[in-house]
């Protein structure tokens, strides 16, 4: 898949890994639909990127908004070639706290609704649009990239909801690839480690240094550009399919 001329749909596209991907697509001659909350910086990013970008305000947990936004991007650009599901939340709570308080059930539901159900809802509408693309030389019509997490594999205390939702995305990878093979649509999942995004906002320098030290090599936090470069490699190498890739500098939590 050529990046030049390709149309991407990126959830969580206003910041962090999503914004890094949106910038990469436009810088390399593609176009992008940025999906994020109305309160996000999505409109400002789309203005910055120019005519090659469009912003669609959406809460991925709301099915009517998801369908409307995906259809809007497909109609605006005439197609969708790659869907990157980077929208997500990471609330923390123990199943039973030291004070004897139960994990809020609404928090668990909300996390699964956004990180898992929302991602699935977005991709099912996106692949419907991809199925209408003319096939490439090998029959390819599109690519889905789901953003999981190292917590899917090595969840920490307080991450029951987050790890469950992200672990499900890992488990979905191969079934999705098999389901969509008849349409020439590939599916890849990324498990980022410790990334320098909004989720680390407010973390002091001492804690940032400790997190950085967990990386085996290189000794730095991950960047949105690292993630975007990986998405670019997925797009260009069509033999990559049905796989989960860690992006974490060999960190093991």
Token pair belonging to 46? 């789309």
Confidence band, pLDDT 50/70/90 cuts, at residue 203? confident
34-45 as b/e: b if 16+ CB within 10 A: bbbeeebbbbeb
**CA nearest neighbour of 87 among 50, 126, 49:** 126
Q: What are the C-alpha distances in Å from 47 to residues 23, 41, 42?
A: 12, 10, 9
Q: How confident is the model at residue 234 (pLDDT cuts 50, 70, 90)?
A: very high
Tokens representing residue 123 in the block = 């991709």
The per-residue pLDDT for 201 is 65
Structural domain boundaries in the chain: 7-247
> Which is catalytic among the residues 162, 183, 227, 234?
162
Rounded to whole angstroms, the Cα distance separating 119 from 153 reads 19
- Per-residue confidence (pLDDT) for residue 126, from 0 to 100: 98
* Topology annotation, domain 7-247: Rossmann fold (3.40.50)
pLDDT at position 212, please? 86
- Asked whether residue 224 carries a pLDDT value surpassing 90, the answer given is yes
Least trusted range by pLDDT, from 52-56, 144-148, 183-187, 218-222:
218-222
The angle at the Cα of 2, spanning 85 to 125, to the nearest 5 degrees, equals: 35
Specify whether 162 is catalytic: yes
User: What is the model's pLDDT at position 73?
Assistant: 98
């Amino acid at each position: 898949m050529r990046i030049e001329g390709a149309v991407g749909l990126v959830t969580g596209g206003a910041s962090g890994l999503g914004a890094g991907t949106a910038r990469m697509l436009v810088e390399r001659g593609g176009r992008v639909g940025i999906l994020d909350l109305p309160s996000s910086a999505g409109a400002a990013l789309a203005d910055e990127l120019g005519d090659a970008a469009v912003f669609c305000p959406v809460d991925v947990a709301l099915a009517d908004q998801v369908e409307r936004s995906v259809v809007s991007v497909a109609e605006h650009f005439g197609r969708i070639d790659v869907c990157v599901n980077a929208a997500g939340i990471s609330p923390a709570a123990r199943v039973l706290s030291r004070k004897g308080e139960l994990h809020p059930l609404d928090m668990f539901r909300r996390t699964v609704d956004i990180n898992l159900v929302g991602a699935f809802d977005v991709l099912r509408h996106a692949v419907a649009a991809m199925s209408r693309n003319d096939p490439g030389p090998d029959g390819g019509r599109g690519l889905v990239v789901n953003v999981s997490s190292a917590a899917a594999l090595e969840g920490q205390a307080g991450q029951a909801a987050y790890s469950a939702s992200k672990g499900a995305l890992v488990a979905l990878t191969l079934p999705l690839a098999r389901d969509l093979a008849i349409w020439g649509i590939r599916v890849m999942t990324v498990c980022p480690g410790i990334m320098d995004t909004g989720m680390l906002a407010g973390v002091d320098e001492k804690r940032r240094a400790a997190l950085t030290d967990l990386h085996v090599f290189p000794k730095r936090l991950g960047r949105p550009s690292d993630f975007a470069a990986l998405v670019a490699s997925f797009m260009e190498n069509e033999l990559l399919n049905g796989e989960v890739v860690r992006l974490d500098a060999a960190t093991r939590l």
